[in-house]
Each structure stands twice: as structure tokens, then as C-alpha cells.
């Protein structure tokens, strides 16, 4: 188990769970079509279903039919899911800082920022 996974486990989340909660928290109405969420997470539809099963069972995410297209299923962040994310996020951010950035000197941080900017430009096209 990585340090990131261990930190999130203290909040009852896996890294995959955390990613789902973050995507949903940033979406309009805290909801995404299942196919769009699967694409964002780079999961197959069945992989997303498996990932969501525990979150749904825990009351952190709900599945519901789209009101705009009754054929589509939506993943919706619940109030409990938002609270869990709000509790876990500060610890996770601190964990990332501690285990990644605290080991870099200022020049390395600047270089890394430049690399990420180049990657982001490449992704955007």
C-alpha cells in the first residue's frame, strides 16, 4: 500500500474512490453521465460499475437515470460523499506535498512545473 493509499484508507477511501468523488464534486450539479465518468477515469463501463458499487453501498454516490435522456445513467455525489471528500482532501493534499514535493529543491519544482505545462499543452492540442 502506498502512502497515498494509506492516508485515504484512514477516511475509508481507496485512491480510486477519491478520484471518483473529486470528478463528481467538480461536475455540474455534482453529477456525471456514467459513460463520461468512465472516460474521465479511463475505465471500462464494467470497471466503473465495480468502482461505484462500494461508493453506492456506502451512500457516498447514487446512481440515477438522467432526466434529459432516460437511457443514460448518472453518477451523483451525495451529501455524505461530499462531506467525506471534504474531510479527506486536506489530508490527501498534505500527504502528496509531504511525499512528493518536500523531497524536491526549488529548481526541481520549477522544472517539474515546466514539464507539466508542456504536457498539458500537448494534451490540449
- Contact 85/79 with Cβ under 8 angstroms? no
- What are the residue ranges spanned by the domains of the chain? 3-88
For position 99, what pLDDT does the model report? 87
- Residues composing the chain: 125
- With 90 as the cut, is the pLDDT of residue 83 above it? yes
Whole-number average pLDDT of the chain: 92
Q: How far apart are the first and last CA of the chain?
A: 35
Confidence of residue 56 (pLDDT cuts 50, 70, 90): very high
Buried b or exposed e, range 42-68, using 16+ CB within 10 angstroms:
ebeeeebeebbebbbeeebbbeeeeee
pTM of the model: 0.83
Inter-CA distances, 80 with 67, 98, 102, 106, Å: 22, 28, 32, 39
Average pLDDT, integer, range 31-41: 96
Helix (H, G, I), strand (E, B) or coil at 72: coil
CA gap 49, 14 in Å, rounded? 15
Is the pLDDT confidence value at 28 over 90? yes
| pLDDT over 80 at 43, yes or no | yes
At residue 4, does pLDDT exceed 80?
A: no
What is the pLDDT, as a whole number, of residue 89? Answer: 96
Query: In DSSP terms, which residues pair with 29 in a beta bridge?
Result: none
- What class, spelled out in words, does domain 3-88 have in CATH? mainly alpha
**Does residue 109 have a pLDDT over 90?**
no
Amino acid at each position: 500500500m502506498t502512502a497515498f493509499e494509506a492516508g485515504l484508507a484512514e477516511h475509508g477511501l481507496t485512491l480510486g474512490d477519491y478520484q471518483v468523488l473529486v470528478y463528481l464534486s467538480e461536475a455540474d450539479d455534482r453529477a456525471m453521465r456514467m459513460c463520461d465518468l468512465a472516460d474521465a477515469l479511463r475505465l471500462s463501463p464494467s470497471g466503473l460499475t465495480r468502482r461505484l458499487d462500494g461508493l453506492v453501498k456506502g451512500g457516498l454516490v447514487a446512481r440515477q437515470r438522467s432526466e434529459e435522456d432516460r437511457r443514460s445513467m448518472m453518477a451523483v455525489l451525495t451529501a455524505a460523499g461530499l462531506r467525506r471528500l471534504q474531510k479527506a482532501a486536506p489530508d490527501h493534499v498534505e500527504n502528496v506535498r509531504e511525499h512528493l514535493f518536500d523531497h524536491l529543491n526549488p529548481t526541481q519544482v520549477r522544472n517539474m512545473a515546466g514539464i507539466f505545462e508542456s504536457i498539458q499543452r500537448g494534451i490540449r492540442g
